[in-house]
Amino acid sequence: MPVISAPQAFNEDDLYVDLEKIFDYPLFLKCEGFNFAGSIKLKAALEMVETAERDGQLTPDSVLIESSSGNLGVALSMIAANKGYRFVCVTDSRCNPATKTMMEALGSQVHIITDPDPAGGLLGARINHVQALCARDQRYVWLNQYLNPSNSTAHYHHTAPAIARQFPNLDVLFIGAGTTGTLMGCARYFRTWHRPVHVVAIDTTGSVTFGGTPGPRMIPGLGTSIRPPLLDETYIDDVIHVNETDTIHACHQLARHGFLFGGSTGTVVSGAITWLTQHKEHNLTAAAIAPDLGERYLQTIYQPTWAQNLCDNDIPTPQSPTTTPQAA
């Protein structure tokens, strides 16, 4: 049995869900939420912190600071608590309430930005806030997930090889695009693999990552209002944009089969099924990465009023049973 003394020492890396019975297309969903941080962001957070420690950037007096829409903030909160660092997460008004509470429970400070930057949106305003704090106090250490190469090397060394072990005949891989750390790490790995793998990036409508028109986005996680510096489009074969309504529908469809996943996962699954449907592909070995689980979205995606408002009342509400179950 696994025995650990640090929460970051545990991560389930080999769990997949076969979605064919739900969506009628063969798709293996790699579940990345089964660790104490609850998302794939644990890998990037740990790689960035340990690299900063090896490089001498972090000292006992350091205060970690990062801009995050939520999941990376939770991962860094957990690692900081375990290692004895102070941590400040700069997020914005779209951050799920449960995520904010989790970070604070782990001892972190959470700064919520409400006013977008005229050019860079809420992300730009978050980065401006981080830079202002770093200029004011030299104890702050900004890991900067948007530029930090460890954000992608974590997935080059861990996520991609784990997929390759399970699927030696992989044909297509679907990956959500946020900072593009996961996307670029996996895409670079499979570019030099023993067989070609078609890499499809899944983005959200309203994101500018791949040159789209900026627009409002209510679900945190994927998409950006500033083009990610880590992105190199020469490694990407296709891009699918997903409306948030379709994200919510995918999440609810998964939930009706007992799988409670997060918003980023709903976006990736919706985009993957869209691509498979467009290409009428039933015979490919296809995998997708599920970045998160659904508990942090209970007050948003899985809250009937919130979801129905975003989807123009197109989300069915739970129905009362017509008969009362009999006791066994």
- Of the candidate ranges 87-101, 136-150, 219-233, 310-324, the one whose mean pLDDT is the lowest: 310-324
Beta strands 28-31 and 16-18 are antiparallel
Q: In the prediction, which pLDDT does 317 show? A: 56
Q: Could you tell me the pTM of the whole model?
A: 0.91
φ, ψ dihedrals at 24, nearest 5°: 70, 15
CB 288 within 8 A of CB 272: yes
Q: 197: buried, middle or exposed (CB in 10 Å: 19+, 13-18, 0-12)?
A: buried
Q: In the prediction, which pLDDT does 328 show? A: 44
Query: What is the mean predicted confidence (pLDDT) over 286-295?
Result: 96
Predicted confidence band of residue 96 (pLDDT cuts 50, 70, 90): confident
Those residues whose C-beta lies under 8 Å from the C-beta of residue 259, and which sit 6 or more positions away, are: 17
CB 78 within 8 A of CB 8: yes
pLDDT at position 42 over 80:
yes
pLDDT digits 0-9 by tens, 190-248: 999 999 999 999 999 999 999 988 888 888 889 888 899 999 999 999 999 999 999 99
Query: What is the mean predicted confidence (pLDDT) over 80-86?
Result: 97
Predicted confidence band of residue 313 (pLDDT cuts 50, 70, 90): low
Q: Torsion angle of alpha carbons 301, 107, 8, 268, nearest 10°?
A: 20
pLDDT digits 0-9 by tens, 143-180: 999 999 999 999 999 999 999 999 999 999 999 999 99
Q: In the prediction, which pLDDT does 8 show? A: 97
Q: In the prediction, which pLDDT does 322 show? A: 47
Query: What is the mean predicted confidence (pLDDT) over 255-268?
Result: 97
C-alpha to C-alpha distance for 72 and 108, rounded to whole angstroms: 13
pLDDT digits 0-9 by tens, 7-16: 999 999 999 9
Count the neighbouring beta carbons within 10 Å of the beta carbon of residue 150. Answer: 21
> What percent of the chain is modeled with pLDDT above 90?
79
Enumerate domains of the chain plus CATH numbers.
7-34+149-310 (3.40.50.1100), 41-142 (3.40.50.1100)
